[in-house]
Amino acid sequence: MAATSPLPRWAPTPSPSRPLWRWGWGGGATPDARADGGVTGWTSSFFAAVFPWTRRRRVDDRWAPSAGGGVGTFDGVEVPLPAAQAVSLPRAAADVVDDPAVFLTWEDVRVTVPGRTRGSPPARILDGITGHARPGEVLAIMGPSGCGKTTLLDTLAGRLGPEMNQTGVILINGRQEKLAFGTSAYVTQDNVLMSTLSVREAVYYSAHLQLPDTMLASEKRAHAERVIREMGLSDTMDTRIGGRITKGISGGQRKRMSICIEMLTRPRLLFLDEPTSGLDSAASYHVMSHITRVAAREGMTVIAAVHQPSGDVFDLFHGLLLLAYGRMVFFGTVSNATEFFTQSGFPCPHLRNPSDHFLRTINKDFDEGTMESSKANRKTAAEATNILTNAYHSTYSEKTANEIGGTPFRRKEQASFLTKLLVLTRRSFLNMHRDIGYYWMRLGIYLGIGICLGTIFYQVGYSYSSIQSRCEVIMYTTALVTFMAIGGFPSFVEDIKLFRRERLSGHYGVMEFVISNTLSATPYLAVIAVIPGAMMYYLTGLTRGAEHFAYFVATLCMCTLLVESMMMIIAVIVPDFLMGIIIGAGIQGMMMLNGGFFRLPNELPKPVWKYPCYYISFHKYAVQGFYKNEFIGLSFPSDQLIEANATISGLQVLKERLQVEMGYSKWVNLAILFGMMVTYRMIFFVIVKIAEELRLKLRGIRFRRLK
Confidence grade of residue 490 (pLDDT, cut at 50, 70, 90): confident
Confidence grade of residue 325 (pLDDT, cut at 50, 70, 90): confident
Confidence grade of residue 546 (pLDDT, cut at 50, 70, 90): very high
Contact 331, 150 (CB under 8 A): no
Q: Beta 301-305 vs 269-273: how paired, if at all? A: parallel
Dump pLDDT digits (tens) for 233-272: 888 999 999 877 778 888 888 888 998 998 888 888 999 9
pLDDT > 80? residue 71: no
Instruction: Report how far apart, in Å, the C-alpha atoms of 135 and of each of 101, 295, 302, 516, 602 are.
Output: 6, 7, 8, 38, 72
pLDDT at 318: 92
pLDDT > 60? residue 133: yes
Determine the Cα–Cα distance for residues 472 and 623; give it in Å rounded to an integer: 11
Section 516-544 average pLDDT: 91
pLDDT > 80? residue 47: no
Section 60-67 average pLDDT: 35
What's the whole-model pTM score? 0.76
Determine the Cα–Cα distance for residues 325 and 372; give it in Å rounded to an integer: 21
pLDDT > 70? residue 19: no
pLDDT > 80? residue 645: no
What are the backbone dihedrals phi and psi of residue 321, each rounded to the nearest 5 degrees, phi first? -120, 115
pLDDT > 80? residue 22: no
Averaged pLDDT score across all residues of the chain: 79
pLDDT at 401: 42
Q: What is the greatest pairwise CA distance in the chain?
A: 112
Handedness of CA 97, 99, 103, 109 (dihedral sign): negative
Burial classification of residue 67, based on how many CB atoms lie within 10 Å of its CB (0-12 exposed, 13-18 middle, 19 or more buried): exposed
pLDDT at 85: 34
200, amino acid identity: R
pLDDT > 90? residue 660: yes
Of 51 and 332, the one with more pLDDT: 332
pLDDT > 80? residue 287: yes
Give the number of C-alpha atoms closer than 13 A to the C-alpha of residue 585, restricted to the C-beta side: 11
pLDDT at 556: 92
- 3-state secondary structure labels for all residues of 618-679: HHHHHHHHHHHHHHCCCEEECCCCCCCCCEEEHHHHHHHHCCCCCCCCHHHHHHHHHHHHHH
Confidence grade of residue 670 (pLDDT, cut at 50, 70, 90): very high
Hey, how many other C-beta atoms are within 10 angstroms of the C-beta on 314?
A: 21
Confidence grade of residue 83 (pLDDT, cut at 50, 70, 90): very low
Can you list the alpha helix ranges (DSSP code H) found in 72-170?
149-157
pLDDT at 690: 83
Q: Is the peptide bond before 612 cis (omega within 30 degrees of 0)?
A: yes
Section 4-8 average pLDDT: 37
pLDDT at 382: 82
Burial classification of residue 478, based on how many CB atoms lie within 10 Å of its CB (0-12 exposed, 13-18 middle, 19 or more buried): buried
Determine the Cα–Cα distance for residues 466 and 456; give it in Å rounded to an integer: 13
Dump pLDDT digits (tens) for 328-384: 999 998 888 888 888 888 888 888 888 888 988 888 776 554 444 444 456 777 888
Q: Which residues are registered as beta bridge partners of 106?
A: 131, 170
Confidence grade of residue 38 (pLDDT, cut at 50, 70, 90): very low
Dump pLDDT digits (tens) for 466-484: 999 999 999 999 888 888 8
pLDDT at 33: 35
What structural domains and CATH numbers belong to the chain? 104-365+380-396 (3.40.50.300), 439-698 (no CATH)
Dump pLDDT digits (tens) for 172-226: 888 777 766 667 889 988 888 999 999 999 999 999 998 988 889 899 999 999 9
SS3 content of the chain, % helix, strand, coil (to 5): 50, 10, 40
Confidence grade of residue 398 (pLDDT, cut at 50, 70, 90): low
pLDDT > 60? residue 322: yes
pLDDT > 50? residue 520: yes
Confidence grade of residue 73 (pLDDT, cut at 50, 70, 90): very low
